[in-house]
Structure 1
Amino acid sequence: MSQDISRFKLDKDKAALVVVDVQEKLIPAMPEKVYRQTLKSIQFLVEGARHLKLPVVATEQYPKGLGRTVSDLAQACQDKLVEKVSFGCCGEPSFLETLKSLGRSQIIVTGMEAHVCVYQTVLGLLDAGYHVHLVRDAIISRGKIDYLNALENAARAGATVTTAETALFQLMGASTAPEFKAISALVKNR
């Protein structure tokens, strides 16, 4: 008897990208080198999503206190921006309404902090019936143990833990995809 692996598969017609709380005033608390790498992975996914015509939803946790989305991502994430005060995005009703309006069943999750807002968002999305793909190289926490705990618990809860490149290549499916050339260029420039 074979195992159902459908939750591990991504389909560009079913997927959306979520960028959780990559905000100005959170950045100084992050390990600088890790943040730079994480930001590159998020930018890579956002640009790849643009080529694949995937919707991108960004969130901001209490922007009055924590500032807006960092300038490196702000323009690419402005179309569907949800402000929130709940740590988990699903605690903000307009977030789930926005996702529902997209008609997507797979959510690719990135952002910060892995063990707080990202993790609680993953649990909320799973509870709402979405297939969740948590991108390990596109999330960050201040501390490594918190980051690792978030990954482990998210996977145990049912999220598929992946990487940015794995996600984009899976979304394309084949080298014959019309987006292959553009995404291959993104990979080379990483």
Structure 2
Amino acid sequence: MPEPIHNPLLMTPLNTALLVIDMQEKLLPAIEKSATILWNTRRLLDGAAVLEVPILGTEQYPKGLGATVPELAERMGTLPEKLEFSSCPCLADQLATLARPKILLAGIEAHVCVQQTALDLVAMGYDVLLAVDAVGSRFRQDKRIALRRMEANGVTLTTTEAVLFEWCRVAGTPQFKQVSQLVRETPSA
């Protein structure tokens, strides 16, 4: 039987890390479609845990914006605080240690912290992917323009469901069964 093809464009649990940016209590309620973004981010975190994809996260000025929402915080552990909009300065060492060429982003706000992080990661040589249904801004136009700018600068746009299946690669495994349950969920709101 021939060796399986390993497409370098695809994410796998061995080549990807998930970075969740600033999903905080005081900011999330102001974000358009926040319930959907929270739901998709939680599903990404659960899928990453099942498939052993490393999880990173940040909090932007938690003294003013509050902590990460509990539903996500319980899945992420201790998060570094930051004042810079980009997450790269506070995560550079962790990213280097993980040695994962692909970084999947989720979080808020698309046109500020997510965009600056994405562009910094591209400049650092990472293959950056963005789960568009797990990213948001307060205003639709800000998100729309940020997605266009990031894509024009080498960020690959994808969706939560596509990510979960891409990480799995094959059906029939115990991990696939768990991820399949995440995919079959429906949003509560």
Normalising by the residue count of structure 2, what TM-score does the alignment of the two structures yield? 0.91
Query: How many Å separate the matches in 1 of 2:31 and 2:165?
Result: 29
Query: How many Å separate the matches in 2 of 1:161 and 1:187?
Result: 18
Residue matched to 1:89: 87
Residue matched to 2:4: none
Q: Percent identity?
A: 41
Alpha-carbon spacing, 1:138–1:86, altered in 2? closer, same or farther (3 Å): same
Query: How many Å separate the matches in 1 of 2:80 and 2:19?
Result: 10
Query: How many Å separate the matches in 1 of 2:162 and 2:86?
Result: 25
Aligned with residue 161 of structure 1, among 157, 161, 180: 157
Q: Match for 1:78: what amino acid? A: G
* DSSP 3-state at the match of 1:60: strand
Q: CA deviation at 1:154?
A: 0.7
Q: CA deviation at 1:28?
A: 3.0
Residue matched to 1:170: 166
- Residues matched between the structures, number: 180
Normalising by the residue count of structure 1, what TM-score does the alignment of the two structures yield? 0.91
Are 1:140 and 2:141 an aligned pair?
Answer: no
Q: Match for 2:111: what amino acid? A: H
Q: State the superposition RMSD in angstroms.
A: 1.3
Q: CA deviation at 1:69?
A: 0.4
Aligned with residue 118 of structure 2, among 110, 122, 135: 122
Structure 1 runs, 4 residues or longer, greater than 4 Å off: none
Residue matched to 2:51: 52
Residue matched to 1:70: 69
Residue matched to 2:19: 18
Query: How many Å separate the matches in 2 of 1:178 and 1:100?
Result: 30
Q: Match for 2:149: what amino acid? A: N
Structure 2: tracts of 5 or more residues without a match: 1-6
More helix per residue: 1
> Is residue 57–residue 82 contact of structure 1 (8 Å, CA) maintained in 2?
no
